[in-house]
Amino acid sequence: MARPPPASVLCPDDITSSGYLYGWTSPVVVVCGVLDADSSEHAQVTLQRLVAQSGIDVPSELLGDCPVILGRCTFAKPRPELSFYDAAYGSHRLILYSRPDLRRLQLYTLDAQLHLFKPSAGPSPRHAVSDKTSPDALIGLDPTRLPVSSSSILRPETIHQLNYGQLFSPCRSRVSQLGVPTSDRFRRHQDLVSNIVKKCRETIPARVTLTALQCSVLFSQVTTRIAQVLSLPGDYPRLAPIITTALISQYIAFYNCIWLILNDIIIGWAVGTIICEHAAQIATILEEYIRRLLIDDLQWVLVWLNNWPAGLKLNSELSQFYCHLLLGAVTGWNRVLQAVLLPYLPQLIYFAGAVGTCGVTLTISLCSDVLALTTAHVRLCYYISCLVYRLQLNIASSLWNLFRGKRYNVLRHRVDSWSYDLDQLLFGTILFTLAAFIFPTTLTYYALFAVSQLVTSLILAGLNVALVLVNQFPLFALLLRLKDPRRLPGGIVFTRGRDDSLLRIQNQTLPISTIFAHYQPFWASFVMAHNPARLLGSILRARTIVGESYHS
- pLDDT, one tens digit per residue, over 69-103 is 888 888 777 677 888 887 777 777 888 888 888 88
Ranges of the chain with pLDDT below 50: 1, 118-152, 173-183, 204-213, 549-552
Q: Positive or negative, the Cα torsion across 171, 176, 180, 186?
A: negative
| pLDDT score for 500 | 55
Q: Residue 254: is it exposed, middle or buried by C-beta count within 10 angstroms (0-12/13-18/19+)?
A: middle
Domain ranges of the chain: 7-176, 182-236, 278-473+519-540
Residue 550 contacts residue 217 (beta carbons within 8 Å): yes
Compute the distance between CA of residue 544 and CA of residue 538 in angstroms, rounded to an integer. 7
Instruction: Report the DSSP pairing between strands 503-509 and 489-496.
Output: antiparallel
Distance CA 338, CA 342 (A): 5
Q: Which DSSP symbol is given to 118?
A: S
Q: Looking at residue 309, what is its pLDDT?
A: 74
Phi and psi angles of residue 7, each rounded to the nearest 5 degrees, phi first = -75, 150
- What lies within 8 Å, CB to CB, of 405 at 6+ separation is 417, 418, 419, 420
Give the SS3 label for residue 83. Answer: strand
The residues, ordered by sequence, that sit 6+ positions from 236 with a Cβ below 8 Å of its Cβ are: 190, 254
DSSP letter at 59? S
Alpha-carbon distance of 323 to 330, in angstroms, equals: 10
Look at residues 392, 506, 477, 473 and name the one whose alpha carbon lies nearest to residue 438.
392
Model confidence, pTM? 0.76
Report strand pairing: 503-509 vs 92-97: parallel
Residue 467, amino acid: L
Predicted local confidence at residue 189, as pLDDT: 54
Q: Is the Cα torsion angle 35, 36, 37, 40 positive or negative in sign?
A: positive
The pLDDT score that the predictor gives to residue 225 is 87
- In angstroms, rounded to a whole number, what is the distance separating the alpha carbons of residues 202 and 371? 34
DSSP state, 137?
G
Say how many C-beta atoms besides its own lie within 10 A of residue 520's C-beta: 12
- Do the Cβ atoms of 461 and 476 come closer than 8 Å? no
Distance CA 226, CA 359 (A): 12
* Contact residues for 224 (Cβ-Cβ < 8 A; gap 6+): 471, 552
Please say whether the dihedral angle defined by the alpha carbons of residues 385, 389, 394 and 398, taken in this order, is positive or negative. Answer: positive
Burial 417-447 (b: 16+ CB within 10 A, else e): eeebeeeeeeebeeebeebeebbebbebbbe
